[in-house]
Amino acid sequence: MSTHPDIIPQAGILDISPYTAGKSGPGGGNRVTKLSSNENPLGPSPLAKTAYMDMAACLEIYPPSDHADLRNAIAEVHGLNSKNIICGAGSDEIIAFLCQTYAGQGDEVLYTEHGFAMYRISAMAAGATPVIALESNRTADIDALLAACTDATKLVFLANPNNPTGTMVSDAEIARLAENLPKQALLVLDGAYAEYVPSFDGHAGLVKGRKNVFMTRTFSKIYGLGGARVGWGYGPDHVIGALNRVRGPFNVSAAGLKAAIAAINDKQYTAKCQQENIKWREWLSAELALVGVPSDPSQTNFILARFGDDKTALECDAYLAKNGLIVRVVTSYGLAECLRITIGDEIGCRAVAGRVAEFMKGARA
């Protein structure tokens, strides 16, 4: 990469490996099915689309800076206090606010072995040191996390269920983590996939009544609004107060706010997306297991398919790509023998199951 002799980024910035997004596939006319970024194959609620398009009539108007309408809608649906909610341009922005606010030079940001890439990037962008706790069988290990804590640990990020493993640990285990962290550490529970788990509150209940636990959520996954960039966080007064000092006043777009409100209020549509996802996830994981490609029980809208070795996984990725199916190589997560496959619609699931079966029976790109 190119550098300038005098205009120099802060220490550590150039050590960051940039985020690699799920591939979109070849441009042009080729029809591809994108199963690489955990997007909702059914798209957002039609009501959210209409709300978004309606905002085209007043694009010159700045959005509200307090996000009150969206915070109230979230509070109502989840039974939370709206003053303990903060909205961001995706939950990625909330993750960045947390790192900027709580972690700097000499501080440690802890997360699990196969934790979401943005924890490391945001920690390093803030000048802090990322620290990894090993998982056990691709599942967060609470004892390993506790053992990795030091006097310098400021933030502990844990996605539950986790991306890219799809696995989940119990509420009791998370409570044990919260209760045994060093006193200067804030536990951040990333609930990006919480809506895919029936009757799961994303650990909102653990945030209530504690001063050291925070929850992040997103409209990018089950709500199908990844392109609109809306996420939120829920936590104690002292954290919300600090994050709001870092947040820019107009960080969420007007159309994004309106679309998110419509999406969260369309509970019927969300329930349908949850049911379809479970149905096709269970079908796909069973089909792949039958042809020798196992995966851990997933609680999310993707499965982490295990191919036994790196070479087979890469060859299968190439075979799928040749046939218009884009999945996610997860080498950067230390899972080179796996491919992460988003649960598509029925057509997408049948297509990927069929192609993986062909590949396992000897077909090659």
Q: Residues interacting with ligand PLP, by CB under 6 A?
A: 38, 90-92, 116, 159, 163, 190, 192, 218, 220-221, 226, 231
Integer CA distances (angstroms), 330 to 20, 23, 297, 319, in order: 10, 12, 18, 16
Instruction: Output 192 or 352, the one with its CB closest to ligand PLP.
Output: 192
- Nearer to ligand PLP (CB atom), residue 296 or residue 351: 296
**Inter-residue long-range contacts of 167-175, CB under 8 Å, 24+ positions, other chains counted:** 167/138, 167/139, 167/140, 167/296, 167/297, 167/298, 167/299, 168/139, 168/197, 168/299, 169/139, 169/140, 169/142, 171/203, 171/205, 171/206, 173/142, 174/142, 174/203, 174/206, 175/206
Q: How far is CA 319 from the centre of its chain?
A: 27
Query: Least distance in Å: CB of 92 to ligand PLP?
Result: 3
Minimum distance from CB of 37 to ligand PLP (Å)? 8
Q: Which is nearer to ligand PLP, 38 or 285 (CB)?
A: 38
Which residue's entry shows tokens 């970024």? 37
Distance, CA of 277 to CA of 266 (rounded, Å): 17
CB 155 within 8 A of CB 133: no
Smallest gap from residue 360 Cβ to ligand PLP (A): 28
Q: Which two tokens stand for residue 280?
A: 């096709």
Q: Could you give the 3-state DSSP secondary structure of residue 205?
A: helix
d(CA 15, CA 286): 41
Q: Of 85 and 353, which has the nearer Cβ to ligand PLP?
A: 85
Query: 3-class DSSP state for residue 173?
Result: helix
Distance of alpha carbon 246 from the chain centroid: 22
Residues 6+ apart with CB under 8 A from 290: 357
Reduced to 3 states, what is the DSSP secondary structure of residue 74? helix
Q: How far is the CB of 220 from ligand PLP (least distance, A)?
A: 3
Nearer to ligand PLP, 165 or 285 (CB): 165
Smallest gap from residue 102 Cβ to ligand PLP (A): 18
CB of 121: closest distance to ligand PLP in angstroms?
12
Rank residues 302 and 359 by Cβ distance to ligand PLP and give the closer one.
Answer: 302
Report, in Å, the least distance between residue 185 CB and ligand PLP: 19
Question: How far apart are CB 91 and ligand PLP at their closest, in Å?
Answer: 4
Radius of gyration of the chain (CA): 21
Q: Is 316 within 8 Å of 336 (Cβ atoms)? A: no
For tokens 């804590």, what's the residue? 149
Measuring CA to CA, how many Å separate 240 from each of 147, 158, 216, 237? Answer: 28, 19, 12, 5
Which residue number, 116 or 234, has a Cβ lying nearer to ligand PLP? 116
Nearer to ligand PLP, 18 or 209 (CB): 18
CB crowding 136-173: b at 16 or more within 10 Å, else e: eebbbbbeebbebbeebbbbbbbbbbbbbbbbbbeeeb
Shortest Cβ distance from residue 232 to ligand PLP (Å)?
Answer: 9
Give the nearer residue to ligand PLP in terms of CB position, either 192 or 316.
192
Which residue number is nearest to ligand PLP in terms of Cβ? 90
In the bound complex, what is the minimum distance in angstroms from residue 219's beta carbon to ligand PLP?
A: 7
Closest to ligand PLP by CB, 19 or 250: 19
